[in-house]
């Protein structure tokens, strides 16, 4: 395993469906042994990217490299990558053993070796003793495991996973997240994982690729992506954020909400208009007199670990997460430490996100585009 | 009370549906030639049936035609369904669907006449003395069977996971292998029911056959029609009693099998 | 899937070819024969001659409309009662409706001849109890009855299949909102079963209006449009007039389908379930 080597490279990939651009000049390098997550909402092009790597789709423009070898025109069955499909795509007419053995049989592997390798895989995914079961009689989690075994038995260099956990319930999902991560570490192979769930992405990945509208928005480690979002889209998509219009007065001094704050950012032109991100958990609520900003609590929601409080400051609604209760209508002060402030360059997403004046979970769902399975 | 009226009504309907079948079965055992006065029980019409070479030839003709046309229609129709399923152009897709619907929408007599006119037209062009024969009959049967095969296979294709074929290719199968090892087995129930439907439609068809066959090839429905005014002899009743029994047994078995698999499914959930 | 494999493109070729030659071309051949005479010269003579058959066409429509309406009237409650039964009972009832469909309709028609004839079963039975014989066969009633009997399963099945798919919670909702059983039927079941009715009506009307053996076997001298076509083609060898009459039948079917589609609203696409 060589961590410096790129096992997969996508160069200037463009894909259009019926005149609509689905992937727009996409560039992506994936290092050997990495757990990479393509993260984005439906229609962002993440599944399309996966299908290009798998060979189900030829890009209209651009090149695909595996180990620096050009793979354009190489059909799916000749590529050394395997895929876990969203709804597993298990073969209904075969039992568990035959599903896992499928790829080996196609390769005309000797029977004894097939038996050995299939059982080894079934052990790895905790499905010992299920070999003779019909796949339609398995639970969702078990089907998932069969799909993993079926792909991994071929010892691929890269495993592609297309929202593999989306059909599972929350509890099982968390378990499978851990299990997938453990399998990946144990086998040391590269995982390319597609999801729309930011928590899943943050907890599993070495590297996250945030995508939107067929373009890469940011590539980085989960911590980088969360702490240093590159634009308002990423800041909004990953976690909750208050995103404010601001101006960079000089290095380490940002002004927003009518006040100037100490911050850790530099390198902007003096007076440059910027987006300022403040995470809800980084704001402290104090007495009105002691705060840097002053506002009125307009709503309080109990979330279990914390309260989610919306504070109106000069018409902008802030979201603040705190363990202290403050009643609706109360006047409060806010303290924002320098390391809680993150300054970003203006982008086309500026002003689209980050105000909680119309916020509600239901509104979010209603505004979300309908889940499109293939996001093509 | 309301329920009782409903049940009586349904009972009457079934009575009506089965009267001619009962008459048929009953008089097939008549010892006399009459089909309205029962003289006594006998199996002589069954004996006569099996010794009549005409009836046996007709029966064989019917089966040969049904098997051939059903098999060809199933192969071509299944391929067509797959082709239609993967079609991307909506305009082409809907025109193919429209054409596929024509034999089902048109009255049989129009389908029969139009095909016959085609055969006569071509026959005249090439100067054939007799343009209708077994070949034209077979073509006609395949033509009216094709839409039903497609209609049975397409829904199965729509039901299967679109990623199945991709999964097979992902695991190393060529597209052709993927089709035969994965796609075909999962649409097999549709293919089988299409085949069965085509087979029975072909067995049963009278109207289209009437216009498209030559004088030398007679099928059972044609044979029955041609026994003009004179009263039916009980030997035909005997033949259809046998067919009726076969149908009944076949339906019962398939029904019991269906119920078993339903029960299994329920237990599983 | 931008590039389709050769297999995928070739797989449809036999059917496309077959459909073009044996479905599309024959329709044009019918047109050709309708507008030519026996020598192949263009003429309107066949179309003009159609006027002579106005009355027969009218009778055919009349008989088949009556048959379709009666079939609908008896099949609808039949399907309704069936759909209310337990699942197991429904399955057996369905099976019993389908068995006559699997039998050859000709032999069943013969059996009816046998029952209705002058010296047939009914009159023999009447004679036994010293009642005068009835004239049953060779009447319009016998022809209409033959149509109803032959095509009843084609009406019951589509109506039943739509009714059995109605979500039971819809009926409960209707009850919950104050519907009695009659208003439930009128406001919920009836509107929801329209697609089944449309499909059933088409499946009964089309073969009824074009039949010729039912009228020949049960109707005696009664002549329908199907009989005329049959006679022109098989006895007179007048293919041109036969083609013109077939054309009339085709136009009639297209018109009635369009009417049904309009009646059913936009759901008319699944005319064949």
* Residue ranges per structural domain of chain C: 53-235
Q: Using the beta-carbon criterion (under 8 Å), do B166 and A87 form an inter-chain contact?
A: no
A338 and A270, same structural domain? yes
How many beta-carbon contacts under 8 Å exist across B and C? Answer: 220
- Cβ within 8 Å of C, B 90-149: 96, 99-111, 113-118, 120-121, 139-140, 142-143, 146
- Contact (Cβ atoms closer than 8 angstroms) between residue B134 and residue B215: no
> Among all residues of chain C, which has the CA nearest to that of B260?
C88
Q: Which of B170, B173, B177 minimises the CB distance to A54?
A: B170
Question: Mutate which of C5, C29, C224, C229 to disrupt the B interface (most B C-beta within 10 Å)?
Answer: C29
Instruction: Give the residue from chain A lying closest to B171, CA to CA.
Output: A103
pLDDT at A26 over 80: yes
Give the domain-ending residue among A227, A251, A285: A227
What pLDDT was estimated at residue B231? 63
Please tell me the predicted confidence (pLDDT) of residue B267: 60
- Do residue A165 and residue A308 come from a single domain? no
Which residues of A fall within a CB distance of 8 Å from B171? 77, 82, 102-103, 106, 150-151, 154
Per the CB < 8 A criterion, the answer to whether B222 and C104 are in contact is: no
Is A57–C3 a contact, with Cβ atoms under 8 angstroms apart? no
Closest CA to B96 of B118, B79, B74: B79
Min distance B235 CA to chain C CA atoms (Å): 12
Give yes or no for a contact between A159 and A84, defined as CB atoms under 8 angstroms apart.
Answer: yes
Residues A198-248 pLDDT 10s: 999 999 999 999 999 999 999 999 999 998 899 989 998 888 889 999 999
Q: Tell me, what's the pLDDT at B234? A: 84
Which positions of chain C have pLDDT values less than 50?
Answer: 1-3, 267-273
**Residue-level pLDDT at A368:** 47
A234 falls within a domain: no
Interchain CB distance below 8 Å, B170 and A86 = no
**A207 with A352, same domain?**
no
Contact residues, chain A, for C5 at CB < 8 Å: none
Q: Nearest residue of B to residue A53 by CA position?
A: B170
User: pLDDT by residue (tens digit) across A137-158?
Assistant: 899 889 999 999 999 999 999 9
- Tell which of C40, C104, C202, C204 to mutate to test the B interface (max B CBs under 10 Å): C104
**Chain B residues whose beta carbon lies within 8 Å of the beta carbon of residue C110:** 224, 232, 236
Extract the tokens encoding C33. Answer: 């024969």
Least confident of A55-69, A76-90, A342-356, C230-244: A342-356
The alpha carbon dihedral of A188, A192, A193, A199 has a sign of: positive
pLDDT at A3 exceeding the cut of 80: no
Q: Is the Cβ pair B163, A102 closer than 8 Å? A: no
Write the DSSP symbol of residue A137: G
CB contact under 8 A, A77 and B166: no
Question: pLDDT value at position C140?
Answer: 94
Do A292 and A216 share a domain, yes or no? Answer: no
Say yes or no: A106 and A245 in one domain. Answer: no
Taking an 8 Å cut-off on Cβ atoms, the answer to whether B113 and C257 are in contact is: no
Give which of A265, A196, A281, A257 is closest to A229, Cα–Cα. Answer: A265
Confidence band of A361 (pLDDT split at 50, 70, 90): very low
Distance CA A63, CA A191 (A): 20
Selected residue of A82, A89, A146 to mutate for chain B interface (largest B Cβ count, 10 A): A89
- DSSP sequence for C16-82: HHHHIIIIIHHHHHHHHHHTB-TTS-B-SHHHHHGGGGHHHHHHHHHHHHHHHHHHHHHHHHHHHHH
CB-based contact (8 Å) between C7 and chain A?
Answer: no
Reported as type and span, the H/E element at residue B79 is helix B53-86
The whole-number pLDDT of residue B63 equals 95
pLDDT above 60 for A365:
no
- Confidence at residue C261, expressed as pLDDT on a 0 to 100 scale: 79
Q: Is residue A351 part of a domain?
A: yes
**Counted domains in chain A:** 2
Q: State whether residue A58 sits within 8 Å of chain C by CB.
A: yes
Name the neighbours of A, counting chains with at least 3 Cβ pairs within 8 A.
B, C
What torsion do the CA atoms of B221, B224, B228, B231 make, to the nearest 10 degrees? -150
Out of A85, A93, A154, name the one closest to residue B163 (CB).
A85
Q: In terms of Cα–Cα distance, which of C151, C152, C161 is closest to C193? A: C161
* Chain A, nearest residue to C3 by Cα: A58
**Is residue B5's pLDDT more than 80?**
yes
Partner C, chain B 147-206, Cβ-Cβ below 8 Å: 150-151, 175-176, 179, 200, 204, 206
Look over chain B and give the mean of its residue pLDDT values, rounded to a whole number.
Answer: 89
CATH T-level topology, domain C53-235 = MetI-like fold (1.10.3720)
**Cβ contacts of residue B88 below 8 Å, gap of 6+?**
none
Interface of B with A (CB under 8 A): 161, 163-164, 166-175, 177-178, 181-182, 185-186, 268
Q: What is the pLDDT of residue B71?
A: 97
Q: A87 vs B161: CB contact, 8 Å cut-off?
A: yes
Residue A217: CATH number of its domain: 3.40.50.300
> In this complex, do A150 and B268 lie within 8 Å of one another by their Cβ atoms?
no
| CA-based nearest residue to A254, from A237, A235, A271 | A271
- Please answer yes or no on whether B171 and A85 come within 8 Å at the CB atom: no
Q: Which of A195, A227, A259 is the last residue of a domain?
A: A227
Q: Which residues in chain A have their CB less than 8 angstroms from residue B163's CB? A: 85-87, 89
User: Residue A360 above 70 pLDDT?
Assistant: no
CB atoms within 10 A of CB C171: 18
> CB B169 to CB A154 under 8 A?
no
Q: Using 50, 70 and 90 to split pLDDT, how confident is the model at A375?
A: very low
Q: Which of B169, B172, B182 sits opposite A91 (nearest CB)?
A: B182
Q: Considering chain A, what is the average pLDDT of its residues?
A: 88
Inter-chain residue contact A154 with B172, CB threshold 8 Å? yes
Chain B residue closest to C247 (CA)?
B110
Pick among A76, A79, A147, A156 to test the B interface (most B CBs inside 10 A): A76
Q: How far is A201 from chain C (nearest CA, A)?
A: 29
Give the pLDDT of residue A372: 44
Cα–Cα distance for residue pair A226/A236, rounded to 1 Å: 10
- Can you tell me the distance from the alpha carbon of A50 to that of B248, in angstroms, rounded to the nearest whole number? 53
pLDDT of residue A370: 45
- Spatial strand order of the sheet with A215-220 comes to A81-84, A158-162, A190-195, A35-39, A207-212, A215-220
Establish if A375 belongs to a structural domain.
no
Give the range among A368-372, B158-162, B244-248, C8-12 with minimum mean pLDDT. A368-372
User: A137 with A208, same domain?
Assistant: yes
Report the chain C residue with the minimal C-alpha distance to residue B249.
Answer: C99
Residues 6+ apart with CB under 8 A from B22: none
* Cβ-nearest to A56 among B166, B177, B186: B166
Q: Is A161 on the interface with C (CB under 8 A)?
A: no
Cβ contact A56–C2 (<8 Å): no
Pairing assessment for the beta strands A341-345 and A215-220 based on DSSP bridges = unpaired
* Cβ separation C2–A57 shorter than 8 A: yes
Task: Name the segment(s) of chain B with CATH classification 1.10.3720.10.
Answer: 58-226
Residue at a domain's end among A184, A199, A227: A227
Task: Evaluate if residue A335 carries a pLDDT over 70.
Answer: yes
Signed CA dihedral, A93, A96, A98, A101: sign only: positive
Do B166 and A85 contact (CB within 8 A), yes or no?
Answer: yes
DSSP characters over B208-259: HHHHH--TT---HHHHHHHS-SSPPPHHHHHHHHHHHHHHHHHHHHHHHHHH
Nearest to C81 among B6, B121, B140 (CB): B6
pLDDT above 70 for A362: no
Token pair recorded at residue A184: 């990946």
Calculate how close chain C gets to B88, using CA atoms only, in Å. 10
Integer CA distances (angstroms), B201 to A336, B77, C74, C100, C101, in order = 80, 15, 26, 14, 10
In a shared domain, residues A209 and A260: no
> Is the pLDDT reported for residue A355 higher than 60?
yes
Instruction: Taking residues B205-220, report their average pLDDT.
Output: 92
Note the pLDDT tens digit of each residue in A95-153.
Answer: 999 999 999 999 999 999 999 999 999 999 999 999 999 998 899 889 999 999 999 99
Which structure tokens are listed for C163?
Answer: 């009714």
Q: Over 80: is that where the pLDDT of B129 sits?
A: no
Q: Are residues A140 and A27 part of one domain?
A: yes
Q: Please, which residues 244-263 of chain A have a Cβ atom closer than 8 Å to chain C?
A: none
Domain that holds residue A342: 241-367
Q: Nearest Cβ partner of B177 from A83, A91, A106?
A: A106
- Is B58-226 a CATH 1.10.3720.10 domain? yes
What integer pLDDT is reported at residue A376 of this predicted model? 39
Q: Give the Cβ contact number of residue A344 at 10 Å.
A: 22
Q: What is the ipTM of this complex?
A: 0.89
Pairing verdict, β A207-212 and A215-220: antiparallel
């Amino acid at each position: 395993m060589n961590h410096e080597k790129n096992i997969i490279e996508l160069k200037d990939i463009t894909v259009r469906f019926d005149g609509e651009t689905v992937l727009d000049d996409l560039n992506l390098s994936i290092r050997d042994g990495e757990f990479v997550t393509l993260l984005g909402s439906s229609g962002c092009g993440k599944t399309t990217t996966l299908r290009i790597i798998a060979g189900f789709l030829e890009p209209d423009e651009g090149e695909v490299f595996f180990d620096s070898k050009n793979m354009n025109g190489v059909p799916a069955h000749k590529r050394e990558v395997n895929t876990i499909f969203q709804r597993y795509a298990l073969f209904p007419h075969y039992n568990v053993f035959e599903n896992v053995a499928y790829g080996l049989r196609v390769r005309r592997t000797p029977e004894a070796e097939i038996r050995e390798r299939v059982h080894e895989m079934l052990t790895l995914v905790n499905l010992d003793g299920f070999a003779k079961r019909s796949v339609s009689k398995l639970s969702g989690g078990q089907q998932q495991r069969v799909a993993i075994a079926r792909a991994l038995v071929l010892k691929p260099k890269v495993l592609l996973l297309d929202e593999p956990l989306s059909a599972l319930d929350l509890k099982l999902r968390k378990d499978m997240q851990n299990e997938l991560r453990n399998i990946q570490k144990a086998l040391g192979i590269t995982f390319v994982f597609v999801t729309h769930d930011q928590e899943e992405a943050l907890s599993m990945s070495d590297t996250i690729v945030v995508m939107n509208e067929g373009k890469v928005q940011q590539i980085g480690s989960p911590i980088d992506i969360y702490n240093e979002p590159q634009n308002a889209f990423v800041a909004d998509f990953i976690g909750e954020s208050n995103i404010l219009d601001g101006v960079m007065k000089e290095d380490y001094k940002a002004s927003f909400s009518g006040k100037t704050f100490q911050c850790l950012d530099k390198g902007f032109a003096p007076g440059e208009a910027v987006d300022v991100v403040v995470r809800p958990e980084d704001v402290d609520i104090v007495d009105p007199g002691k705060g840097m900003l002053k506002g009125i609590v307009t709503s309080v929601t109990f979330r279990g670990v914390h309260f989610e409080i919306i504070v109106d400051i000069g018409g902008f609604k802030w979201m603040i997460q705190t363990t202290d209760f403050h009643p609706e209508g109360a006047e409060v002060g806010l303290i924002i430490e320098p390391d809680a402030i993150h300054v970003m360059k203006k982008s086309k997403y500026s002003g689209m996100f980050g105000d909680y004046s119309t916020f509600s979970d239901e509104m979010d769902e209603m505004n979300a585009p309908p889940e499109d399975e293939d996001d093509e | 009370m309301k329920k009782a009226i409903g049940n009586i009504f349904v009972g009457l309907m079934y009575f009506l549906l089965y009267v001619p079948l009962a008459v048929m079965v009953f008089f097939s055992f008549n010892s006399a030639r009459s089909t309205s006065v029962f003289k006594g029980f006998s199996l002589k019409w069954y004996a006569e049936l099996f010794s009549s070479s005409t009836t046996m030839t007709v029966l064989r003709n019917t089966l040969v035609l049904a098997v051939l046309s059903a098999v060809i229609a199933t192969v071509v129709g299944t391929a067509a369904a797959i082709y239609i399923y993967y079609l991307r152009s909506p305009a082409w897709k809907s025109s193919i669907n429209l054409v596929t619907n024509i034999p089902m929408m048109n009255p049989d007599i129009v389908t029969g006449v139009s095909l016959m006119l085609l055969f006569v037209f071509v026959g005249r062009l090439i100067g054939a003395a007799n343009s209708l024969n077994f070949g034209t009959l077979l073509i006609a049967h395949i033509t009216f069977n094709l839409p039903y095969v497609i209609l049975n296979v397409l829904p199965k294709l729509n039901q299967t996971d679109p990623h199945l074929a991709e999964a097979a290719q992902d695991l190393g199968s060529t597209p052709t292998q993927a089709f035969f090892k994965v796609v075909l087995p999962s649409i097999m129930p549709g293919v089988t029911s299409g085949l069965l439907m085509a087979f029975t439609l072909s067995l049963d068809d009278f109207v289209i056959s009437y216009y498209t066959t030559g004088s030398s090839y007679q099928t059972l429905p044609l044979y029955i029609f041609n026994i003009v005014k004179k009263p039916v002899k009980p030997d035909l009743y005997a033949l259809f009693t046998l067919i009726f029994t076969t149908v009944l047994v076949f339906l019962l078995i398939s029904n019991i099998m269906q119920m078993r698999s339903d029960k299994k499914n329920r237990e599983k959930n | 899937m931008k590039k389709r494999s050769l297999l995928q493109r070739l797989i449809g070729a036999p059917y496309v070819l077959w459909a073009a030659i044996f479905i599309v071309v024959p329709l044009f051949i019918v047109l050709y024969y309708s507008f030519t005479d026996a020598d192949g010269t263009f003429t309107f003579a066949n179309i003009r001659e159609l006027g002579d058959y106005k009355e027969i066409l009218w009778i055919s429509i009349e008989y088949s409309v009556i048959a379709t309406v009666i079939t609908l009237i008896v099949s609808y409650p039949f399907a309704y009662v069936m759909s209310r039964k337990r699942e197991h009972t429904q399955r057996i009832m369905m099976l019993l409706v389908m068995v006559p469909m699997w039998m050859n309709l000709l032999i069943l028609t013969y059996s009816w001849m046998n029952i209705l004839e002058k010296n047939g079963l009914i009159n023999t039975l009447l004679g036994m109890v010293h009642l005068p014989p009835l004239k049953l066969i060779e009447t319009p009633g016998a022809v209409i009855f033959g149509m109803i009997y032959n095509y009843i399963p084609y009406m019951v099945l589509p109506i039943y299949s739509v009714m059995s798919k109605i979500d039971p919670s819809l009926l409960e909702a209707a009850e919950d909102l104050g519907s009695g059983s009659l208003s439930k039927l009128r406001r919920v079941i009836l509107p929801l079963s329209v697609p089944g009715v449309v499909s059933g009506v088409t499946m009964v009307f089309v073969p009824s209006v074009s039949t010729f053996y039912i009228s020949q076997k049960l109707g005696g001298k009664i002549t329908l449009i199907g009989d005329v076509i049959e006679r022109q083609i098989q006895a007179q060898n007048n293919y041109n007039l036969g083609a013109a009459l077939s054309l009339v039948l085709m136009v009639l079917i297209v018109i009635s389908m369009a009417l049904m589609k309009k009646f059913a609203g936009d759901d008319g696409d699944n005319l064949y379930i």
